Structure 1
Amino acid sequence: MDSKKLLEMAVKAGDGRRAEDIVALKVDQISPMADYFVIMTGGSDRQVQAIANAIIEKAHEEKVSIGSVEGKNHAQWVLIDLGDVVVHVFREETRAFYNLEKLWADAPMVNINEWVND
């Protein structure tokens, strides 16, 4: 699966579990780690885990290799490494504290409006 389709899969899976403030950044020109970072928020520990589980389940369905999943038990910041796409699922306070959007401010945002329900 190419990285753009992988990005779409992750965004749709997160949106399907009502993730909030989903942002996708194209980081391939500024980092060798991945092509895209996806950042989203869950309103509770339980929702963060549900969002992460939905993304992981969809990756398994699509036979996408998962590099690692970090932080799922604590549910403040879950990182899902899908290779070319790295997904960050945050609790609101943790997202504000780490402020990845500012840290990666040089990365252009990807228009994901067609993949999410308003």
Structure 2
Amino acid sequence: MEDKQLLDLVTKACDDKRAEDIVLLDMQNVSVISDYFLICEGSNERQVQAIAREVKDVAEEADLHVKRMEGFDQARWVLVDLGDVVCHIFHRDERSYYNLEKLWGDAPQLEVNL
């Protein structure tokens, strides 16, 4: 699966669980960590977990390997590592504190297509 297809798949999975304020960052010329970051938020712990679970399930249904999922139990910041795409799912209260969009301000934002 190409990176853009994976990014679209993950974006739709987040949107299906009503993730809010979805931001896509093109990290290809900014970091060696990943090609793309998807950043979104949920309004409470249960929603954050539901979004993360949906991303994991959709990836596995597409025969993609989830390299790592961290923070699921606390559900304040869940990171789902899919290799070329890393999905950051924040609790609304935590997102502004970590402010990844500003931290990675050099990365161009992509349009969210749903």
Return the TM-score normalized by structure 1: 0.95
In 2, Cα distance between equivalents of 1:21 and 1:8: 15
Cα distance in 2 for partners of 1:33, 1:3 equals 14
Instruction: State the match for 1:25 in structure 2.
Output: 25
CA shift at 1:105, angstroms?
0.5
Alignment partners' CA distance in 1, 2:81 and 2:2: 15
- In the alignment, does 2:36 pair up with 1:36? yes
Work out the percentage of aligned pairs sharing the same amino acid: 47
Distance 1:4 1:67 in 2: 18
Give the Cα–Cα distance (whole angstroms) in 2 for the partners of residues 48 and 108 of structure 1.
25
Measure the CA separation in 2 of the matches of 1:65 and 1:4.
16
1:66: how far off? 0.8
Counterpart position of 2:45? 45
Q: Say whether 1:83 aligns with 2:83.
A: yes
Q: Which amino acid aligns with 2:79?
A: L
Q: How many residues are matched?
A: 114
CA distance in 2, matches of 1:76, 1:48: 8
SS of the counterpart of 2:90?
strand
Which residue is 1:72 aligned to?
72
Query: How many Å apart are 1:72 and its aligned residue?
Result: 0.2
Partners of 1:53 and 1:95 lie apart in 2 by 19
- 1:10 is matched with which residue? 10
Q: Which runs of 5+ in 1 are unaligned?
A: none
Q: CA deviation at 1:2?
A: 1.0
Alpha-carbon distance in structure 2 between the residues aligned to 1:58 and 1:66? 10
CA drift at 1:93? 1.4
Distance 1:107 1:38 in 2: 12
Letter in 1 for 2:14: G
User: How much is the aligned-residue C-alpha RMSD, in angstroms?
Assistant: 0.5
